[in-house]
């Protein structure tokens, strides 16, 4: 009995598993990621620190790190860091937009997640289905929907005018930060709700009842029982909803297409559509990757921690 | 005023404030989309002012309806084709990967898993730019175009079947497979006769999610497109919305929406029939994702 | 009216001598080539860089000025491109490819679908159109070497040199294009940027001026002593747009200050232009695009720096019979103030799988009737056709009276300034300046 157990100890499968089975199952996925995820990261480096074709001014990647040229990178860094740099304003603005939008996602998403997990009762399944809908509705269609509503002659302006709140149509789509922030919030709030719902759903009702029985008011129960257990989920939600916003450029182009609302993603995409500026685009993406490093590492550590812990049944 | 406050803060009542939040959220997320779908039946070129019902943008306009505009039809074809191929390729790779990293506890396996999770959380723009530079400057033989779009979509799609299958493996437990092994079945047979059939609902769900997700993708396909035939529905709507959108854009978006709805519903029903309840799977999926 | 005797210290006689020496044909209607400042000229108030007078001749071609690996063409320093042994034109008298798909790369709304359809029927082929949103991305895609188009339309002259030098463009065999000699302006048969039209064929002509809604704001732009001034004094907030590329807005700022060299390599001039444009952006929250043909009629923009052809394009989107009396256009060059004229080109790419069809298509587009159809029913951009005079255009009602200002005359080509190809380091200066403008710094 002990010997059989020992034979099964190395992995959870049965004894006699050929050594090649699991590695060969993992191989295609791993190879795919190596070639199409890791190698491109190196290409980004090789282009950032590479040269330019003398005639077409297109980037020539330099593969040998000893021959790397730092001109493009220092240009980008200095333009990101100095207050009169090309990218500084967009950089700060992106951080501000993402911070505000993520906070709004939290302010809206948390009550909704709380509602669905704890108070929806028999309608819970229906609300879940409705909540999941945006995940398979095209982002573009959702943005098109708002473009339609926010036109000068769209429904939002018509309703506001008929309520007497404004007298002329408000140019929502003429480069307003408000529109962009609301657009980002609208686009990414489902990603915030997902982990919040999961965490709130896991909290046993008995805990809350016990807290009430012990004399805590609803507010205290929330702050002392519910909120601490959702802290991990809040951080996860902030990462899952906030991180993609940093790379957003299309929401800006659709909802607020002026220079005053540009985000760092806009600079990246435009640089890539120009021969001369392509290496600058690569360097900007490199900077973005470096900035994302901390949240990504945090997320990885929480993943590995969580996956080894069985969820409470 | 006090009565209003009491109405909302009644602790044993039906949490009316939260109901307002719940219904309000749903309306806020879905009403604009309903409006967009309805506008596709508008009789004029406007996407913001309703002027009467018409099938114009779907069938009857001789130049710009889905039926008659070859660009629109081809965009739909490109989206569906890319989504279908991605599903066919990414799901097997993802399932195999999930099995391997779940069962094979070793450093290479966890390194591979870390790589997978990093690719999952990385913003799509970074992946798109990396692939763009790869295909333009290094792998020029592949270059930009449909192949590049497909490769990019597979990259972002792989993690979904992995997460879903691993969640299912966690809740399934090893008991069935161990029982079969104890009864003398060789590992490959166990895989074929026990594991995969038990995983069927997860595989279905993974396939449906991959399809619906890649059908609407924008950043990757836009960055890796080369010429007009590479345009997908999402790229078409993006281009139209930036210049002068007609309800044709709404129509093609709605069509893609209906396609996704059908696939998701179908997969959801199939999943429900062959699983002992969503709660465990969902929780396990969340723990795999680290949330 | 610009006094020819005061154009950058050049007299008209000196210009004619140089033009004759370079072997250029000068039509009786007036020299097409403006005696404007090239990189080798002194600019008002500035000093010219080291390239003064130096020729850019080398293996790629002769003439032009130095600064790049290949010669940079200027109106007074024309370039004759070498036809290298490994980039020869196709042979004459070859049959058109059968059952082929001709792939065209073009701006949006810049080639009448009816022309593509009639060509498909005539030669039993398919014509496929891919569009680029702006010239820079278009050239970048071609430069990447990834594309397989046959033809590129709308290639502006300031990107021609690099594509020729890098052999992305093949030499033209004019035997397939008899309509070129027959129908196109004499003054365009051998342009300064491509003497002998070895690699390019001219497509459209236009001037760059100001489009506005005369019902939305009431300034008489035409009557201003310096019409460009409207952008700096009185431009409507949130309703002002400029063209979205590194050259046109910068040129406008330079013209506003009286500079006559839009290709200046002087960093102070470029910096001044950048700051001037920034002033406009700060005051009006201006956008940069060329969507005027939609924005002006719809009211999204009231004041737009525009290419004259985009005014014509607007009519395609309006209901038939709508003459858009609320739209006005004016070319400040007509007031004697510096302003641009331009033409763009069509080229046959070396990735062409159907080069014979490609040549035949160019010939098809240059057919007198087809060119008129192209201009009047779709693109709104005039083509330099001999049989089409401004008077006939306005008189026949093709161009509404109040927009007669959009018609480009050969005479305007003598007054107008040309935006030409820049040396790479100078190009970077303009790119940086434009990026700074977009970033608002």
- Interatomic CA distance for residues C245 and C434, integer angstroms: 8
Q: Residue A2: pLDDT band by 50, 70, 90 thresholds?
A: low
Using the Cβ of C439 and the Cβ atoms of chain A, whether some distance falls under 8 Å is answered with yes
Average pLDDT, chain A: 88
Q: Residue C403: pLDDT band by 50, 70, 90 thresholds?
A: confident
Count of Cβ atoms closer than 10 Å to residue C85 Cβ: 6
pLDDT score for A306: 60
Contact C184, C202 (CB under 8 A): yes
Structure tokens at B106: 């070793």
Average pLDDT rounded to a whole number, residues A188-196: 93
Residue B285 has φ and ψ, to the nearest 5°, of -60, -40
**A149 and B32: CB-CB below 8 Å?**
yes
Structure confidence by residue, pLDDT tens digits, C25-37: 333 333 333 333 3
Q: Is the whole-model pTM more than 0.80?
A: yes
C136 vs A111, A196, B186, C406, C431, CA distance in Å? Answer: 47, 45, 61, 25, 11
What stretches in chain B show pLDDT beneath 50?
Answer: 277-278
The percentage of residues in chain C with a pLDDT greater than 90, rounded to a whole number, is 63
Q: Of C246, C280, C428, C441, which to mutate for an interface test with A (greatest number of A Cβ within 10 Å)?
A: C441
Structure tokens at C344: 């763009």
pLDDT score for B29: 94
Q: Is the pLDDT of residue C16 over 90?
A: no
pLDDT score for C393: 80
Domain ranges of chain A: 20-69, 74-308
Q: How far apart are the first and last CA of chain B?
A: 40
CB environment A124-133: b (16+ within 10 A), e (fewer): eeebbebbeb
Residues written for chain C: 441
pLDDT score for C204: 95
Average pLDDT rounded to a whole number, residues C353-360: 96
* Residues B16, B21, B22, B28, CA torsion sign: positive
The C residues from 307 to 366 touching B (CB cutoff 8 Å) are 317
Q: Is the pLDDT of residue C259 over 70?
A: yes
Average pLDDT rounded to a whole number, residues C274-293: 90
Structure confidence by residue, pLDDT tens digits, A129-182: 899 889 889 999 999 999 999 998 899 999 999 999 888 899 899 889 999 999
Domain ranges of chain B: 2-39, 56-289
Q: Could you tell me which chain A residue has the CA closest to the CA of C429? A: A276
Structure confidence by residue, pLDDT tens digits, A8-64: 444 444 455 677 888 888 999 999 999 999 999 999 999 999 999 999 999 999 999
Shortest distance, CA B37 to any CA of chain C (angstroms)? 24
Q: Of C144, C291, C351, C378, which to mutate for an interface test with B (greatest number of B Cβ within 10 Å)?
A: C144
For the domain made up of A74-308, give the CATH fold: MetI-like fold (1.10.3720)
**B228 and C141: CB-CB below 8 Å?**
no
Count of Cβ atoms closer than 10 Å to residue C3 Cβ: 8
pLDDT score for A217: 85
**A250 and B238: CB-CB below 8 Å?**
yes
Structure tokens at C162: 């690099």
Superfamily of domain B56-289 in CATH is MetI-like (1.10.3720.10)
């Amino acid at each position: 009995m002990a010997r059989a157990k020992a034979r099964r100890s190395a992995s959870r499968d049965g004894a006699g598993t050929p050594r090649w089975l699991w590695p060969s199952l993992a191989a295609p996925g791993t190879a795919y990621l190596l070639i199409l995820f890791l190698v491109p990261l190196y290409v980004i480096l090789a282009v950032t620190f590479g040269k330019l074709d003398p005639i077409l001014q297109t980037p020539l990647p330099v593969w040998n790190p000893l021959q790397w040229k730092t001109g493009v990178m220092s240009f980008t860094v200095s333009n990101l860091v100095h207050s009169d740099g090309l990218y500084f304003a967009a950089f700060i603005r992106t951080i501000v937009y993402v911070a505000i939008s993520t906070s709004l996602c939290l302010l809206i998403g948390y009550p909704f997640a709380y509602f669905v997990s704890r108070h929806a009762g028999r309608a819970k399944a229906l609300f879940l289905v409705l909540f999941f809908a945006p995940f398979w509705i095209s982002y573009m269609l959702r943005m098109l929907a708002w473009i339609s509503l926010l036109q000068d002659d769209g429904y939002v302006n018509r309703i506001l005018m008929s309520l007497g709140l404004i007298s002329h149509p408000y140019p929502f789509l003429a480069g307003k930060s408000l529109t962009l922030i609301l657009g980002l919030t609208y686009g990414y709030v489902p990603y915030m709700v997902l982990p919040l719902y999961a965490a709130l759903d896991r909290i046993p009702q008995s805990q809350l009842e016990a807290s009430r029985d012990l004399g805590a008011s609803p507010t205290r129960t929330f702050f002392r029982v519910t909120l601490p257990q959702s802290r991990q989920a809040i951080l996860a939600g902030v990462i899952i909803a906030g991180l993609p916003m940093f790379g957003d450029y299309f929401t800006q182009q659709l909802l607020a297409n002026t220079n005053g609302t540009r985000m760092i993603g806009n600079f990246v995409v435009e640089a890539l559509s120009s021969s001369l500026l392509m290496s600058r685009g690569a360097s900007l993406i490199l900077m973005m990757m470096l900035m994302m490093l901390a949240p990504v590492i945090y997320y990885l550590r929480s993943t590995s921690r969580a996956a080894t812990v069985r969820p409470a049944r | 005023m006090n009565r209003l406050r009491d109405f909302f803060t009644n602790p044993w009542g039906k949490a009316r404030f939260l109901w307002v939040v719940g219904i309000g959220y749903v309306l806020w997320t879905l009403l604009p989309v309903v409006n967009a779908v309805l506008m596709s039946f508008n009789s004029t070129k406007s996407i913001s002012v309703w002027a009467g019902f018409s099938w114009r943008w779907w069938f009857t306009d001789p130049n710009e309806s889905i039926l008659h505009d070859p660009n629109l039809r081809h965009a739909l074809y490109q989206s569906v084709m890319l989504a279908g191929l991605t599903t066919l390729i990414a799901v097997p790779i993802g399932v195999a990967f999930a099995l391997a990293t779940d069962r094979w506890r070793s450093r290479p396996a966890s390194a591979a898993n870390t790589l997978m999770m990093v690719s999952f959380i990385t913003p799509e723009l970074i992946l798109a730019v990396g692939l763009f530079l790869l295909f333009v400057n290094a792998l020029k033989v592949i270059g930009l175009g449909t192949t590049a779009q497909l490769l990019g979509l597979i990259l972002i799609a792989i993690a979904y079947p992995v997460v879903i299958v691993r969640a299912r493996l966690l809740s399934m437990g090893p008991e069935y497979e161990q029982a079969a092994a104890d009864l003398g079945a060789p590992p490959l047979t166990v895989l074929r006769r026990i594991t995969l059939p038990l995983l069927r609902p997860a595989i279905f769900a993974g396939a449906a999610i991959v399809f619906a997700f890649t059908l609407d993708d924008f950043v990757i396909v836009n960055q890796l497109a080369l010429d007009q035939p590479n345009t997908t529905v999402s790229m078409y709507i993006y281009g139209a919305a930036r210049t002068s959108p007609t309800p044709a854009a709404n129509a093609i978006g709605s069509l893609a929406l209906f396609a996704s709805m059908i696939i998701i519903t179908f997969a959801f029903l199939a999943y429900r029939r062959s699983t002992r309840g969503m709660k465990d799977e969902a929780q396990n999926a969340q723990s795999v994702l680290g949330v | 009216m610009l006094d020819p005797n005061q154009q950058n210290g050049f007299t008209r006689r000196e210009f004619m001598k140089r033009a004759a020496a370079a072997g250029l044909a000068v039509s009786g209607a007036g020299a097409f080539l403006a005696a404007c400042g090239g990189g080798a000229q002194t600019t008002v108030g500035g000093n010219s860089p080291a390239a003064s007078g130096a020729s850019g001749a080398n293996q790629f071609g002769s003439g032009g000025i130095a600064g790049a690996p290949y010669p940079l063409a200027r109106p007074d320093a024309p370039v004759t491109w070498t036809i290298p042994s490994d980039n020869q034109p196709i042979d004459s008298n070859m049959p058109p490819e059968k059952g082929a798909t001709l792939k065209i790369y073009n701006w949006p709304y810049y080639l009448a679908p009816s022309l593509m359809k009639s060509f498909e029927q005539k030669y039993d082929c398919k014509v496929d159109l891919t569009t680029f949103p702006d010239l820079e991305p278009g050239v970048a895609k071609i430069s990447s070497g990834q594309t397989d188009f046959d033809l590129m339309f709308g290639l502006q002259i300031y990107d021609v040199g690099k594509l020729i030098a890098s052999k992305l463009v093949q030499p033209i065999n004019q035997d397939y294009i008899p309509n070129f000699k027959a129908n196109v302006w004499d003054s365009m048969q051998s342009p300064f940027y491509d003497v002998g039209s070895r690699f390019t064929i001219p497509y459209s002509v236009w001037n760059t001026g100001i489009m506005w809604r005369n019902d939305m704001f009431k300034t008489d732009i035409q009557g201003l002593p310096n019409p460009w001034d409207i952008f700096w004094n009185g431009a409507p907030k949130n309703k002002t747009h400029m063209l979205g590329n590194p050259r046109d807005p910068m040129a406008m700022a330079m013209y506003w200050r009286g500079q006559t060299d839009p290709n200046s390599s002087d960093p102070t001039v470029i910096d001044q232009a950048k700051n001037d444009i920034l002033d406009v952006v700060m005051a009006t929250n201006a956008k940069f695009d060329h969507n005027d043909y939609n924005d002006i009629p719809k009211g999204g923009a009231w004041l737009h720096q525009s290419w004259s052809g985009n005014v014509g394009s607007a009519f395609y989107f309006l209901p038939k019979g709508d003459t858009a009396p609320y739209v006005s256009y004016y070319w400040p060059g007509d007031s004697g103030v510096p302003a641009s004229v331009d033409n763009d080109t069509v080229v046959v790419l070396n990735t062409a799988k159907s080069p014979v069809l490609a040549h035949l298509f160019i010939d098809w587009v240059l057919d007198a009737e087809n060119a008129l159809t192209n201009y009047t029913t779709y693109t709104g951009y005039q083509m330099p056709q001999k049989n089409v005079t401004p008077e006939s255009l306005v008189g026949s009602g093709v161009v509404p009276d109040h927009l007669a200002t959009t018609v480009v005359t050969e005479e305007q080509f003598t007054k107008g300034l040309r935006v030409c190809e820049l040396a790479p380091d100078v190009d970077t200066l303009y790119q940086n300046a434009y990026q700074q403008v977009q970033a608002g710094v």
